[in-house]
Structure 1
Amino acid sequence: MAILLIRVSLVSLCLFVGGLFNERQQKIRYADSWNIALKSDIVLILFSVAVCTAAVVAGPDAATEFSHHSSFAFLVDSNITDQWLLVPIAALNIFEVGYWFFMAKLVAVQTGDGYWSSFKFVLSTYGVGYLFYIVFLMFLLLYLTN
């Protein structure tokens, strides 16, 4: 529960700060960005439910395979690829992209702007924050393995 609150808080902070710098999206208050982030998290909760269901029904190996095949990680052999390279590859999965599209739809509804301008807004705010998070994880993994 605490991780969910931290995640929603950080995503809403990204949207709110991005709205301060974007003239077209200045209609977004922090409460609005919190609402958007909270509603968008349903996509990632559905991913967690799907992984847990696969683990209960078919076993933990099936859950790992489901998680592996829903991202770009299935394109590389994890046995020969460095672990720090797997972080950005596995970070781009179908549910994360769905999260971006769903969040863009919620931003478009909130602000009344077009969908694609809202999608650009989501990529320039949350996408940058997500990129920093991935780079931080890569740095941490490199630091801890050496």
Structure 2
Amino acid sequence: MDIHLDKKTLFLMLIVSVVTTIFLTKYFLISENLYFKSLSDQFSYNQIASIIESERKWIWVPYLIMPLILLVKLLFVSVCLSLGVYFYCDRFDFERVFSLVMKAEFIFFIPSVIKILWFHFVNIDYSIKDIHFFYPLSAIHIFDPVLLENWLIYPLQVLNIFEILYWIILAYGIRKIVNMNLSKSLEIVLTSYGSGLVLWIVSVMFLSITYGHK
């Protein structure tokens, strides 16, 4: 069933979802006790208290930064897909592609909700690292995250069921926009967004290697 909402409404819904997810994560999962339990073997009491105070001081930052990051991601994916459609079909339909990308983005709030529920009700004895490493139905859970190199964490998290569903949703949407079969639209998604995603993952891995050893 196709959902017809204007772009402003879709983007507002995404922003509300992002802000709500951040709030629920901080409210249910992050506490002072968690900081002391997770960092006591690395820092002194006063140092941890200083970290907590700094977190309080800058608590508003994620609420501003994450919507901006979301917008950049939406534009990036939309440009990649629009260029892919242009090269395959000789047409440029950025507005419809952008609406499609916004609709597809909602799939990524499912793992965020699962994460909150998992640590709040199931694995209640967790650390900050556990929260950082956890991504439901992803390849990272095949390994012990603690033993992995930092530069491997992100790509293994990206390799997950929800990312695959995201690709399928995009392919289905592109099929409707340009009126082609699903296999061809999936090819467009693979060669356009897929290439952009690989470039982004490689960039993150490079930064992790470069600054992770300093």
TM-score when normalising by structure 2: 0.60
Write the letter of the residue equivalent to 2:99.
N
Q: 1:67 to 1:104 in 2, by over 3 A?
A: farther
1:44-123 pair list within 5 angstroms: 44-58=108-122, 59=124, 61=126, 64=131, 67-123=134-190
* Of 131-140 and 42-51, the range deviating more from structure 2: 42-51
Match of 1:15 in 2: 81
- Pair 1:134-2:198 in alignment: no
Q: Alpha-carbon deviation of 1:45?
A: 2.2
Match of 1:33 in 2: 97
CA distance in 1: counterparts of 2:107 and 2:93, whole angstroms: 23
Q: Residues 15 and 33 of structure 1 are in contact (CA less than 8 Å); yes or no, is this contact kept in structure 2?
A: yes
* Identity between Structure 1 and Structure 2 (%): 26
Question: RMSD of the alignment, in Å?
Answer: 2.4
Write the letter of the residue equivalent to 1:138.
M
Match of 2:5 in 1: none
Write the letter of the residue equivalent to 1:51.
K
Whose Rg is larger?
Answer: 2
Q: Residues 105 and 115 of structure 1 are in contact (CA less than 8 Å); yes or no, is this contact kept in structure 2?
A: yes
Match of 1:145 in 2: 212
CA distance in 2: counterparts of 1:67 and 1:28, whole angstroms: 38
Say which SS state the counterpart of residue 146 (structure 2) adopts. Answer: coil
Write the letter of the residue equivalent to 2:97.
S
* Per-residue Cα deviation, 1:8-40 (whole angstroms, up to 9, x for no partner): 111101111222222x3x344111111111111
Q: Residues 51 and 66 of structure 1 are in contact (CA less than 8 Å); yes or no, is this contact kept in structure 2?
A: no
Query: How many residues align structurally?
Result: 144
The correspondence for 1:5, drawn from 71, 74, 80, is: 71
Q: Alpha-carbon deviation of 1:67?
A: 3.5
Q: More relative contact order in 1 or in 2 (CA 8 Å, sep 6+)?
A: 1
* Per-residue Cα deviation, 1:62-111 (whole angstroms, up to 9, x for no partner): 98499444111122222332111232222101111111111111111111
CA distance in 2: counterparts of 1:9 and 1:60, whole angstroms: 38
* Of 114-123 and 71-80, the range deviating more from structure 2: 71-80
CA distance in 2: counterparts of 1:60 and 1:34, whole angstroms: 41
Match of 1:42 in 2: 106
* Of 124-133 and 45-54, the range deviating more from structure 2: 45-54
Q: 1:38 to 1:77 in 2, by over 3 A?
A: same
Say which SS state the counterpart of residue 79 (structure 1) adopts. Answer: helix
- Unmatched tracts of structure 2, length 5 or more: 1-66
